[in-house]
Amino acid sequence: MTATTATVKRQRTWAWPAVTKTILLPVSLLFALGLAAQGSGNSGYFLVPGEAKAGMKTFFDKGCIRCHAVMGEGGRSAPDLGRAPAGYLSASEIVAAMWNHAPQMWTKMQQQKVAPPSFSASEMANLFAFLYSVRSMDEPGDAERGRQLFSAKRCGECHQRGARTAPRAPDLSQWASYRNPVSWIQAMWNHAPAMQALMEARGYSWPEFQGSDVADLLAYVRTQVTSRGPHLYLRPASPDAGKTLFTAKGCANCHTLHGSDRAGVPDLGTRSLPRTLGQFAAQMWNHSPTMWVSMKAQNIPRPQFSNKEMADLVAYLFAERYFEASGNSGRGRRMFEVKGCGSCHVPGGSGSGPDLSSWQGRVSPVRLATSMWNHGPVMLGRMQEQQMPWPVFQTGEMVDLMEHLNRGLAERQPARARR
């Protein structure tokens, strides 16, 4: 069973376990703007549960910006939500992060005499879309570190004006106007075999990049811009087109999405893939030689991508990754008991908290986050009165809990393997 959402036309409420995987959630900045129109148009193919730009407005209007920054814009007294935590977060993990840190937040707001704002479901959906979008962006990059990398990885021995090696590789300053890591993914993908052959001929090893390496390198290359012409950006991409390309270009022959790894070929829907585009570029680069060998062995031609095609493809992958596979209701049920939820949220309504049985089939990350945020301070107060600790959820636990709630609190089905 997979976790995704439904089109507006088909089903207006969330049914976490019930829907199929054919529908995508466009939340990344890559395509948020492009799909906002699609989502509200007549195609009905994409549901847009959140719109990133509107989410940013919510972030400002509700005062989140006073304490939290995003990508360096905003307050300094709370973590920058565009960067922290450093790893990738799916929708349910964003809920878990909010949940885990909520008491601290509320306490701080109380100290500052700020009333916690309330959110409607649509506002929360927009907020999620916004946070997911900004988290896919790379930080500006450290040009000085990029310069050091450029030298340490010996890029300059070929890619520099006046490089003496022949045949000469392109002077990267010519590309300094390219502002988007996707443009570099495309260039690297298309030219990697030629580059690899050249490097092998010269006895160079294939350099690998980690963490913010690519962002830093790009920051350095941008400082080398020689043209005074405009910078070259990419337009919002279409994951719909990316989905078609994923098959047409043959990616689907080897890679799966939310499936299982095939003989060492990574599943591109898993959360283990990096958070940002720059990190994604680094990963493609690092694996290029292996991939190329494998493709040659299987007699698979290496597809070429235009800038737009690569953007569409990456948009598709990033959209797809927003969803993880559904949780395990058995683990979720245990979680419900172990974390102490069941002591208040008793079926039938006899507990001090509301009966969550009525949530069956309607639990989504956004709904859970909205309820938790709006009612959380009251819940926290009651728990403190009863000297109950605020439960903390680890990676994957929240999605299991949601699965359990979606199946109904009374369910006693045996747990199925989630992944």
Q: Which of 27, 124, 131, 137 binds another protein (CB under 8 A)?
A: 137
Question: Residue with structure tokens 């597809």?
Answer: 303
Contact between 234 and 182 (Cβ < 8 Å): yes
Residues in 55-94 at the binding interface with another protein, rule: CB under 8 A: 56-57, 60, 66, 70-71, 73-77
Q: Give, in order, the Cα–Cα distances in Å from 218 to each of 142, 176, 179, 221, 404.
A: 9, 8, 8, 5, 45
- 223 near another protein, rule: CB under 8 A: yes
CB of 63 to another protein, least distance (A): 9
The number of beta carbons lying within 10 Å of the beta carbon of residue 399 is: 28
Kindly report the CA angle at 370 between 318 and 12, in degrees rounded to 5? 70
CB of 280 to another protein, least distance (A): 13
CB of 65 to another protein, least distance (A): 9
Burial class (CB in 10 A: 0-12, 13-18, 19+), 325: buried
CB of 221 to another protein, least distance (A): 11
The span of 42-50, 205-213, 222-230, 254-262 binding another protein (CB under 8 A) equals 222-230
Strand, helix or coil for residue 232: strand
Q: Which of 20, 226, 386, 395 binds another protein (CB under 8 A)?
A: 226
User: Which pairing describes strands 69-70 and 73-74: parallel, antiparallel, or unpaired?
Assistant: antiparallel
Of 33 and 415, CB closest to another protein: 33
Contact between 95 and 400 (Cβ < 8 Å): no
Kindly report the CA angle at 74 between 71 and 76, in degrees rounded to 5? 95
Q: In this structure, what token pair is assigned to residue 219?
A: 């920051």
The span of 10-18, 121-129, 134-142, 159-167 binding another protein (CB under 8 A) equals 134-142
CB of 80 to another protein, least distance (A): 12
Q: What does the per-residue mask of binding to another protein show for 8-27, with x meaning CB under 8 A? A: --------------------
Q: Give, in order, the Cα–Cα distances in Å from 205 to each of 153, 201, 202, 260, 286.
A: 9, 10, 9, 31, 11
Of 177 and 371, CB closest to another protein: 177
- 277 near another protein, rule: CB under 8 A: yes
Give the span between the Cα atoms of 380 and 106, in whole angstroms: 9
Q: Which of 183, 270, 279, 288 binds another protein (CB under 8 A)?
A: 183
Q: Which of 100, 224, 244, 374 binds another protein (CB under 8 A)?
A: 224
**Omega before 289 within 30 of 0, i.e. cis:** no
Q: Which of 48, 134, 317, 356 binds another protein (CB under 8 A)?
A: 134
Q: In this structure, what token pair is assigned to residue 121?
A: 């479901």
The span of 15-23, 229-237, 263-271, 327-335 binding another protein (CB under 8 A) equals 229-237
CB of 44 to another protein, least distance (A): 23
Residues in 338-377 at the binding interface with another protein, rule: CB under 8 A: none
Q: What single DSSP character describes residue 206?
A: P
CB of 162 to another protein, least distance (A): 14
Q: Which of 30, 96, 313, 366 binds another protein (CB under 8 A)?
A: 30
- 225 near another protein, rule: CB under 8 A: yes
Distance from chain centroid for Cα 151: 31
Size of the site for another protein (CB under 8 A): 45
Q: In this structure, what token pair is assigned to residue 384?
A: 């403190």
Q: In this structure, what token pair is assigned to residue 136?
A: 């896919």
Residues contributing to the site for another protein (CB under 8 A): 29-30, 33-34, 53, 56-57, 60, 66, 70-71, 73-77, 134, 136-138, 140, 143-144, 173, 176, 178-183, 219, 222-226, 228, 230-231, 233-236, 277
